[in-house]
Amino acid sequence: MSNVSKNKILLVGWDAADWKVIDQLMNAGQMPALKGLMERGASGNLRTLQPPLSPMLWTSIATGKRPHKHGIYGFTEPTFDGKAIQPMTNLSRKSKAVWNILNQNSYRSLVVGWWPSHPAEPINGVMVSDLFHKSPKKPGDNWTLPSASVHPSERQKDLDELRVHPTEIRADDIFAFAPHAKEVDQEKDSRLSSLMKITAECSTVHNTATHLLETEEWDFAAIYYDAIDHYSHAFMRYRAPQQAHISDSDHRIYRDVVDMGYRLHDMMLQQLLTYTDDQTHVLIVSDHGFHSDHLRPVHLPVEAAGPAAEHRDYGIIVAAGPRIKAGSVVNGANLLDITPTLLELAELPSGSDMDGKVLTDLFKDPISTNEIATWESVSGETGQHASSTTLTEVDSEAMLEQLEALGYINRPKEGSRVEVEDCQLELKVNLARAYMDAQLHGEAAPILFEIYQTSLSDFRVGHLLATCFIALKQTDNLSALLHDMNERTKKYAEIARKRLEELDPVKKERSRFLERAEEVAQQEKIDSSSTDDEWKPPGHQGIFDQREKWQIQLFEAFAAGDRSKLRYFQASLLTMQGKPEEAIALLKTSQHTAQDHISFFYLLSQAYLDSGEFKHAEATLLQGLEIDPQNPACFIALARCYVKQKLPQDAIKVANRAIKLQYYFPTAHFYLGRAQEMLGDYSAAIESMEMAIEQNPNFKEAFKSMERIHKKAGTVSDAAANWKELRQQFLENQSPEIKAIEKYEFKTFSTDELDVHLESFAQQNDKNSKFVSALWRGIPEPGDKENGEEPVIVVSGLPRTGTSMMMQMLQAGGLTAVTDGKRVPDESNPRGYFESELVKDIQTHNKWVFDCGGRVLKVVSPLLPYLPSRLHYKIIYMQRPMQQVLSSQTQMLKKMKRQTGKSSELLAEKYNQQERYADWLLKVQEIPTLKLDYAEVLADPAKASASLETFLGQSLDRVAMVEQVKPDLHREKQE
């Protein structure tokens, strides 16, 4: 196929843009570019899909298909060999994107930053992937251009120069977002750094887009900005109106960030529009909205992709151009509709396998939409990747770091089995949610049941499965599931309460540690004459670090039990069982959050309707709409309420409100048809019923209603007359899982089994201890010292400071060394190393140290913080001039035929930091320490032996100790 017209099309993506914020800013005259575009075009809500995860949504926007068709199910996926995870990329996309279809029709495209679009596809034009604009994790980190982030590759060099580093963001730029930024202590508060990073990345996208629009020939351009989403996740909580849990200081400093982010996008839009003419069609879309009012969640769910709870169901759509109706409102738009509409603007047919529709409301003139069966089988150069294309490990790591920083993924130990299993589980959950969003609950239920039986503490899966059973009217399965969830909730609450009780001694111990650290810091400040730019003790986030706070939040959630959702599902079951009065009584006892209110109001109204209390139902729904005036479920429940009260005009009004908000809503079309039937408008009623059946071919009540309406109208409909046969055909064409749902049996687990599972779930592969994270270096575990009067004697220092020699001396003196003999003597240490392989994994496995009382253990200084703190220690710390240490290490590496590639200056800096940290830690924890100079021990081993005997407080064979010191073995001598 070839295109008839080459009028330009510009598609701009603003992730998370929301009308609630935009309307306020436009009314204040602060977004003139967008307002001008709206005045000469059309605008409206753009309903999102579930789950509202950006890689899935932007792929649906670009393909017109739901996730179960296009193949993008989340943020990450297992690598091909299943041994690790990698970011979700366009390599996993199973459908053509709109630019691939346009590529087949001689369009030249520019695609910048689309998520996911890495590696860049070889399209006719230029593609710049979503990895191109990502900043380095830290200001000093390497910032090389990721491979395959630009097509064609020869454009990489000039585009690389357009990237903006966070350090290039000026102070004046930051003051525009946060006028009181000078009040921020940036050593303790990293939020300004986050603001700089977001703004720098946004600037990179815009620089690249405008440069390409100006210098390249193009017919279609798709430019994606992720900054509004990032500004919102980081700073929406501080925006007015001030929430009760936000401090006055935080509100004052950060309240303007989000609004300035929107204003920045309006200014960038103004510049983009200079590259268009009056024949260019311009579309601006967002994949979802963002809660900016009383519906902002105070706490995010303790689960993967928890930040998505801040998303709102409605994004934005604005369109302008020669074929667009000026000043019109778009109703019932869904983000699946964007690609079919773009194809119509390009005068190309959409595919009937696409889940979206052409937005006919946009167009000033009537259109007759054309379709082909599918674009997937149309031949021609698409600009897609070859099947052999893979993602490089370096690029994968960079993208994973970005997702982790945003809070969308938690990363356990790299390459671990847990990491891969968690990733696979999330992909399954997201796929099931995507099926549910498409009203394919029969497809979702088997997936969720399998997860529920194995992921015992993931109650959100149980809630999703309960929702499926309600949709499928599976009362027996719902009853069994609720019984199981109730039992698990009780057991988990008991387990979690015990875990939380363990926190009191932890808090006390760590508080003492912090007090002592402050004392040491103050004393060093008094005693020291050092300059400000020298090393300072590390700061801590408080008693618990972020990972531990996550664990505590998890256990607090389990201890609370989340009874409100269980009551909600129990009330649903009672309603399904014909017991509305019991459902009403149960719902009235429920406590729930603002975001949960709508679901409770909706269900309570249904129970009132079933019990004939129509006025109570109406009042309840109106109360729910006061909280969220754009909730389509409440509107359609009102339509049902008005039909029950024989108020068809009111029913039609609210049913249309529901359809305008969410066109894909078969129940809304059904009650619209019922109201039209009551008015005698049979042709309109039949049309509404046909739409309800088209959207849900298993809608039994719609078939029955259509049969009745045809009889009243004196017309005949094969579909109405044969609805039982048609429904049976529909069921037979569905997957076999739908027929298997009645066979579910829920296994009962004991408290001990759940205890083990919950511990594993909370720790995420951390074998150290219940509430101690290795990230909190040096912080004590709770409890008294456990090994009485027998301390663990630790020989420490940097590698090549004489630690092996000291181990030899102590063993000769009569002490027992902790060694496994696995590291054999060699040319660098001909008398042996006296080490244990266990020390190498001490960061995550340190319980074995409890068995080392009275013995001598060699632990190099960088690993000292990972010794369990509930033990007595005596530390013998070996010291040596840094230049000699580095020289000795270099000689040793040469003998081993290994090199690190690190400069001596960098190594010296890192080693000095480690030594200072170890010295500070030993002071804070008040561990008895004897420091010995390597050269002095060589020169006078007798004196050193006497010092060791005095320090350890026990008799040693000093003669044998002296004999262990052989200066001729130590090649690297002091000059």
For residues 538 and 178, the model is more confident at 178
Q: What are the tens digits of pLDDT across the range 215-226?
A: 999 999 999 999
Q: What's the chain's length in residues?
A: 975
pLDDT of amino acid 14: 98
pLDDT of amino acid 299: 82
Specify the amino acid at residue 633.
A
Name residue 11's beta-bridge partners: 222, 283
Q: What are the tens digits of pLDDT across the range 761-799?
A: 555 433 333 333 333 333 344 444 455 568 999 999 988
pLDDT of amino acid 490: 85
Report the pLDDT averaged over residues 451-467.
86
> Which tokens belong to 170?
């000026």
> Is residue 574 over pLDDT 70?
yes
Q: Which helix (H) or strand (E) holds 838?
A: none
- Least confident among 75-89, 127-141, 891-905: 891-905
Q: What proportion of the chain, given as a percentage, has pLDDT over 70? A: 81
Rounded Cα distance between 237 and 257, Å, is 10
Contacts of 973 (CB under 8 A, 6+ apart): 967
Q: What proportion of the chain, given as a percentage, has pLDDT over 90? A: 49
pLDDT of amino acid 513: 74
pLDDT of amino acid 370: 83
* Cβ neighbours of 578 (radius 10 Å): 9
pLDDT of amino acid 137: 75
Going by pLDDT thresholds of 50, 70 and 90, the confidence category of residue 24 is very high
Report the pLDDT averaged over residues 268-294.
96
Rounded Cα distance between 380 and 939, Å, is 82
Rounded Cα distance between 883 and 801, Å, is 11
pLDDT of amino acid 127: 98
Contacts of 605 (CB under 8 A, 6+ apart): 617, 618, 620, 621, 624, 634, 637, 641
Rounded Cα distance between 575 and 573, Å, is 5
Name the pairing type of β-strands 125-128 and 85-87: unpaired
* Cβ neighbours of 711 (radius 10 Å): 14
pLDDT of amino acid 185: 83
Name the maximum alpha-carbon separation found in the chain.
117
Report the pLDDT averaged over residues 629-647.
92
pLDDT of amino acid 950: 95
> Which tokens belong to 911?
């080693």
Report the pLDDT averaged over residues 568-587.
92
Between the ranges 57-61, 327-331, 657-661, where is the mean pLDDT highest? 57-61
For residues 495 and 413, the model is more confident at 495
Angle 364-365-367 from CA coordinates, rounded to 5°? 125
Angle 269-272-278 from CA coordinates, rounded to 5°? 105
Q: What are the tens digits of pLDDT across the range 64-102?
A: 999 999 999 988 888 777 777 877 888 889 999 999 999
**626 contacts 591 by C-beta, under 8 angstroms:** no
> Is residue 743 over pLDDT 70?
no
Phi then psi dihedrals of residue 150, to 5 deg? -135, 135
pLDDT of amino acid 773: 36
Rounded Cα distance between 573 and 565, Å, is 12
For residues 417 and 168, the model is more confident at 168
Average pLDDT, the chain: 83
**833 contacts 898 by C-beta, under 8 angstroms:** no
Going by pLDDT thresholds of 50, 70 and 90, the confidence category of residue 385 is confident
Rounded Cα distance between 621 and 634, Å, is 6
* Cβ neighbours of 788 (radius 10 Å): 9
Contacts of 463 (CB under 8 A, 6+ apart): 565, 569
**123 contacts 383 by C-beta, under 8 angstroms:** yes
pLDDT of amino acid 203: 97
Specify the amino acid at residue 734.
Q
Report the pLDDT averaged over residues 387-414.
51
For residue 407, give the DSSP letter. T
pTM: 0.74
pLDDT of amino acid 759: 58
Report the pLDDT averaged over residues 836-855.
83
For residues 737 and 251, the model is more confident at 251
**451 contacts 429 by C-beta, under 8 angstroms:** yes
Report the pLDDT averaged over residues 317-326.
96
Question: Virtual CA dihedral for 444, 449, 452, 453, nearest 10 degrees?
Answer: -160
Q: Which residue has the tokens 């001990």?
A: 752
Rounded Cα distance between 928 and 635, Å, is 72
Q: What are the tens digits of pLDDT across the range 670-722?
A: 999 999 999 999 999 999 998 998 888 778 888 889 888 988 888 876 666 66
Report the pLDDT averaged over residues 562-567.
80
Name residue 78's beta-bridge partners: 85
Rounded Cα distance between 824 and 835, Å, is 10
Specify the amino acid at residue 48.
T
Going by pLDDT thresholds of 50, 70 and 90, the confidence category of residue 596 is low
- What DSSP line would sit under 584-596, residue for residue? HHHHHT----HHH
In Å, what is the CA distance from 718 to each residue of 101, 683, 706, 724, 817? 38, 16, 10, 11, 90
Q: Which residue has the tokens 């997702």?
A: 403
- Least confident among 208-212, 221-225, 822-826, 959-963: 822-826
> Is residue 252 over pLDDT 60?
yes
> Which tokens belong to 737?
């899982």
The secondary structure of 194-226, three-state, reads HHHHHHHHHHHHHHHHHHHHHHCCCCEEEEEEC
Question: Which of 312, 329, 286, 308 lies closest to 15, judged by CA?
Answer: 286
Going by pLDDT thresholds of 50, 70 and 90, the confidence category of residue 572 is very high
10: left (phi over 0), alpha (psi -120 to 50) or beta: beta
pLDDT of amino acid 525: 65
